[in-house]
Structure formats: C-alpha cells, structure tokens
Amino acid sequence: MSEHYYTKDPKTKSNPVTWETTLDEKTFRFTSDSGVFSKERVDFGSRLMIESVDLSDYPEGDLLDVGCGYGPIGLALAAKDKNRTVEMVDINQRALDLAAGNAALNGITNVKIHPSNLYESVEGCEFAGVFSNPPIRAGKQLVHQILEEASRYLKPDGYLTIVIQKKQGAPSARKKMEEVFGNVERIALEKGYWILQSQKQA
C-alpha cells in the first residue's frame, strides 16, 4: 500500500512549497510539503469550514484541531479569535513541523502544536470546539472514532465541526454524529462538501 498522510514519519522525499492565500478575509502564507495532506493550496473543504464557522456562538474556552496537517484550519481559527488558544494535533511529524513554521510565518502565537494519535495527548481536557478535516484515506473506522470520542473532550454547549465530502461518507458521518450527540446540522454545503456540526448538550 502506498504511504498516505496519516503516517507518523513520512518517507516521501521533502519538496516544500510556499504560497499566499486569503481565508475569511485575512491573508496567510503557508508552506506545505510532500507526505502532507493538500500540498500546494488550502483544500476546498478546509476553506469552506473556516469560512462557515462563527466562533461568537461558542462557549468560552480553547479549541482543538484534530489532524491539523500543516495548519490552515487551526491557524485561521486562532486568527479569528485571539482570546482563545487553539491546540493543533496530528500524528504526522512533518505536518506538525510545518504547522509550527506556518504559525511563526503568520505571527500567530495563540496556538499549541504537538503530536497526538487522535485525542491521546489531550486526555482530560475540555474544549469549546473540536474541529476536524478527518483523514478519509485512513478509513471509516478511524473517522468515526474521531466523531464518537469528541464528546468526551467538549465542554457543555461546545461544538464538534467536521468537513467531509458526500461521496466520501458524509451521510454516514451525519448519522454517527446524530447518534453520539442527539443533534446534527449541516451548516454549509458546496461542491459536494458538507460542513457538519453537533452541539454537546449541557
């Protein structure tokens, strides 16, 4: 099986690329690389999620980006609300190094970037929001694990927000979130990408 980005230590030869883009009316510079999801641009799903989220609806508290990759979601969220800290976790060390570099490149300091296999390193923490562009190629079981376990890491009234394409399992993910939280809303739909959100009941 070929290596994919849900890998702790990618062996793919490094070939970094840097570009500039606008997210939610803010300009960012990002560097990505081989062995990391979405090498040459911010993927459409992450962009749609960033632009669909209104953090003023969230309870007070920090945020968690699960599977942060090179950092576009977590860094954009940190730029949206500088009074919150965004924890950004990934299993892929190359992605984490890029995310840390991208935080510095954009002058974003209200982030904590560290390795974690899903929620492993944030055990016992609670967040106002959990966000994920889940690693579809790692399989449905892992994607659903992210959804099932999110509730343990959310404050009362906190939100789980994910992006997933219809053809890659969005209807199944929506069903799972409804089972776990008792509610789910599709807050955005564009080009087959669904932004799904569930709220943890107080």
Give domain status of residue 147, yes or no: yes
Q: Give the integer Cα–Cα distance in Å for 60 and 141.
A: 31
Give domain status of residue 76, yes or no: yes
pLDDT for the residue 102: 98
Task: Classify residue 33 by its DSSP letter.
Answer: -
Tell me the pairing of strands 63-66 and 26-32.
Answer: unpaired
pLDDT for the residue 135: 81
Give domain status of residue 1, yes or no: no
pLDDT for the residue 113: 98
Give domain status of residue 133, yes or no: yes
170 Cβ partners below 8 Å, 6+ apart?
164, 194, 196
- pLDDT tens digit at each of 202 positions of the chain: 233 444 555 557 888 999 999 999 999 999 999 888 777 789 999 999 999 999 999 999 999 999 999 999 999 999 999 999 999 999 999 999 999 999 999 999 999 999 999 999 999 999 999 999 998 777 789 999 999 999 999 999 999 999 999 999 999 999 999 999 999 999 999 999 999 999 999 8
Give domain status of residue 70, yes or no: yes
pLDDT for the residue 36: 85
In what helix (H) or strand (E) does residue 92 lie, and over which residues does it extend?
A: none
Residue 14 burial by Cβ neighbours in a 10 Å radius (0-12, 13-18, 19+): exposed
Give domain status of residue 38, yes or no: yes
95-98 contacts, C-beta under 8 A, 24 or more apart: 95/5, 95/36, 95/37, 95/68, 95/69, 95/70, 95/71, 96/68, 98/16, 98/31, 98/32, 98/33, 98/36, 98/69, 98/70, 98/71
Q: And the tokens for 190?
A: 């564009």
Range of the domain at 185: 18-199
pLDDT for the residue 8: 52
CATH (domain of 41) = 3.40.50.150
Q: Give the integer Cα–Cα distance in Å for 182 and 199.
A: 9
Give domain status of residue 153, yes or no: yes
Give domain status of residue 98, yes or no: yes
Count: domains in the chain: 1
Q: Give the integer Cα–Cα distance in Å for 107 and 101.
A: 10
